[in-house]
Amino acid sequence: MTNVYNDIITSGFNASAITVIDLGSTNQEIFDVYTELEQNGSKLVVLSDAVYGPWSLWCDNRLQGIFPDIPFIVTDADISLDGSLNLLTLEYSLSLLKRNPLVDKISWHLKTSDIDVENAHSVRYHELWKISRLRVITLLLRRFRLINNQEYFSTSDTTLSLYRPVRDFSGFSIFLSPDFSIRHLPWYNSFRETKEFRYYQQHKNPNFGHWS
């Protein structure tokens, strides 16, 4: 989590604009990190009984107050931005959101060309399926120049997205082109061998396939 936080700061975002939401962590090391982030000016919200898991942001009434009335970014902790999130990309994403009023979010492309987990083929197939499943709408949006030829329309939930100020988790989305790719770290064996990953695999909420 520290890496993605530092990536966001390095990209030009102010620490005071970042809210970290913890959904029941039990690792003391992460709370030591939270103390440092709060000292930097970031906000911390801890939900020790987050029964909705990764959907808590949209389903838990206790979090309603943290959503701003302007578009905002939501990201998981287990990603690497690889320089794909910056103020220029954000400005472009905001313009996409404005041009396409029916979509709920603009999402970053997940890189798969170099992933090396055991089920890498299945992961790549799923990502290609997301691109092709609503190809007719993608082609229409391209025809009317609402998106470019490398962007595509999907309804899948995403790891890093710019959301409208609405309470929807998995609505219509436009994915940015592969030029703005991020890495989902659990798709890489080097990350799966880390102490951090092994800890959360042992302690994650069994009701969800995500870290808790």
Q: pLDDT digits over 22-69, tens only?
A: 877 778 888 889 999 999 999 998 887 767 766 777 777 777 777 778
Q: Supply the mean pLDDT for the chain.
A: 86
**Any domain includes 209:** no
Q: Report pLDDT for 185.
A: 92
- For residue 156, being part of any structural domain is answered with yes
What range defines the domain where residue 155 resides? 2-203
From the list 137, 75, 69, the residue with the least C-alpha distance to 106 is: 75
**Which CATH number fits the domain that encloses residue 22?**
3.90.550
Report the pLDDT value the prediction gives residue 153, as an integer from 0 to 100. Answer: 93
How far from chain centre, in Å, is Cα 20? 13
165-195 pLDDT, tens digit per residue, is: 875 666 789 999 998 999 999 999 999 999 8
Neighbours of 78 (CB within 10 A): 20
Q: Give me the amino acid identity at 154.
A: S
pTM score of the predicted model:
0.86
Give the span between the Cα atoms of 17 and 92, in whole angstroms: 19
Q: Which residues pair with 22 in a beta bridge?
A: 46
Domain count, the chain: 1
Rounded to the nearest 10 degrees, the angle between the axes of helix 120-132 and helix 135-143 is 50
Percentage of the chain exceeding pLDDT 70 = 91
For residues 198 and 186, give the distance between their C-alpha atoms in angstroms, rounded to a whole number: 11
Question: Is the pLDDT at 103 greater than 70, yes or no?
Answer: yes
Q: Is pLDDT above 50 for 211? A: no
Over residues 68-84, mean pLDDT: 87
Residue ranges of alpha helices (H) inside the chain are 2-10, 28-39, 56-59, 87-99, 120-132, 135-143, 189-192, 195-203
CA 122 to chain centre: 20
Task: Identify whether 211 is part of a domain.
Answer: no
Q: Is residue 197 in a domain?
A: yes
